[in-house]
Amino acid sequence: MESVHWARGRPVNLIPKRPATILYLETGVGFGGAVISLRTCLEHLDEACFRSVVVRSLDDPKFASFPPAVKTIHLPRRHHGGNGRSCPIWQRLDAEIFRYAHHLARIARTERADLIYLNNDFIANMAGVIAGRLAGCPVVLHERNIPSPDSRLAVFLTRWISRFLAISGPVRQGLLDLGVAPERITMVPEGLDLARYAARDAAQVKALRERLGVGPEDPMVVMAGMIMDWKGQHVLIQAVPSVLAVHPRARFVLIGEAPPGRDDYLRALQQQVNEMGLADAVHFAGYQDDVPLFMQAADAVVHGSISPEPFGRVVIEAMAMGTPILATDIGAPPEIIRDGETGFLVAPGQPMALAEVLNRVLGDTDLRTRMGRAAMEEVARKYSVQRHAGLIQAVFDELLTPDFSLNLYLG
């Protein structure tokens, strides 16, 4: 028998029907690390306990790669200009936000959602916060950005979020600076399905390098991530001539795509490569399904963000493949990498410093082997998807308890 409590003249079902329905909202600007992390998590949540419905703003065929049991709903929305990291929150709160919130609330009621999960930063998910309030659902925000306490509105809306999942220490500190109480924040670092990061056979690696025009003895450097200016692809390109001066056969592969409608930076990078006469050394590979294969084929992976990185999924991906990672020392990478042991930390926006470390790594086989082995062990201990999904599932279980549901309703 269902347990029913009457509050404010309306019945409240204190025990959600199992499996509980979780409505996931994904409003990012592209199919990047946040979406891939969500997909990986949904592959490992207990389907006997949770039914997953993903509402996505992007019309991207790659969402077909989500697990078959996951229902996806395309609800397009208008994205604001800019890169999503500096626009004041008040400039983003307009009629479109409220229209989107009402659509989301209607979907939540139709799907009988028990909880709404917002997959990305607070600014991109204001409509989801409002929708949770309208639908009477607890809201979980998986904060994948480092928030800035620059808005009274942001501080106010945090009250409507039941739990924040912080992917790193800098993200947690940003939430604390926003006024979020520590007990409302759960640390949930990113996680990898390590089975997908098993070493490929030598024939696959050889075939990839041949396809890229990289010889068996040529040094190969990979950089993976969305093509956006704060990711720092231009810094690596500026470092290329100094690396070629020491390793003239080195080749550089940039993996990733620009967000839809925001390819100005990609065109600028391509022009930069041509003007510097680097077309033979730098290859733009676009979006790739099998990034781990590229990383295994590489001698080094670069993560070059020039703004503080909230986490940096590619950092632990490179570590999982046993390939030395060179990451900028701002944001989360310093808490992931033991400098000189599991990877290297370099100053952001400094191509000469990056080139110096790259030259050292590319010229030392023993260093690469030793560092790769230590990095793989570190990832296995700290960043498995089983641990990641277990932390999220524990939060869902807590928020869907009868006592919490009643407190949410009465509050």
**DSSP code at position 197:** G
Question: Which pLDDT score, from 0 to 100, does residue 150 have?
Answer: 64
Percent of the chain with pLDDT over 90: 75
58-115 pLDDT per residue, tens: 888 889 999 999 999 999 876 544 344 445 444 455 678 889 999 999 999 999 999 9
In this structure, are residues 337 and 327 in contact, taking their beta carbons and an 8 Å threshold?
Answer: yes
What CATH number belongs to 4-191+385-410?
3.40.50.2000
CA distances from 384 to 50, 108, 157, 316, 378 (A): 20, 31, 32, 10, 10
**Domains 4-191+385-410 and 194-382 are alike in CATH topology:** yes
In this structure, are residues 236 and 324 in contact, taking their beta carbons and an 8 Å threshold?
Answer: no
Question: Which pLDDT score, from 0 to 100, does residue 155 have?
Answer: 75
Query: Is pLDDT of 408 > 60?
Result: no
**How do the domains of the chain map onto residue ranges?**
4-191+385-410, 194-382
Tokens representing 161? 């979020």
The total of other beta-carbon atoms located within 10 Å of residue 48's CB is 8
CA distances from 67 to 30, 184, 192, 380, 392 (A): 19, 30, 16, 24, 18
Question: Which pLDDT score, from 0 to 100, does residue 13 have?
Answer: 47
The rounded distance, in Å, linking the Cα atoms of 69 and 46 is 11
Average pLDDT in the 153-157 region? 75
163-176 pLDDT per residue, tens: 999 999 999 999 99
Question: Which pLDDT score, from 0 to 100, does residue 114 have?
Answer: 96
Question: Which pLDDT score, from 0 to 100, does residue 194 have?
Answer: 94
> Which has the minimum average pLDDT: 11-25, 120-134, 336-350?
11-25
What is the topology classification, in CATH, of domain 194-382?
Rossmann fold (3.40.50)
181-236 pLDDT per residue, tens: 999 999 999 999 999 999 999 999 999 999 999 999 999 999 999 999 999 999 99
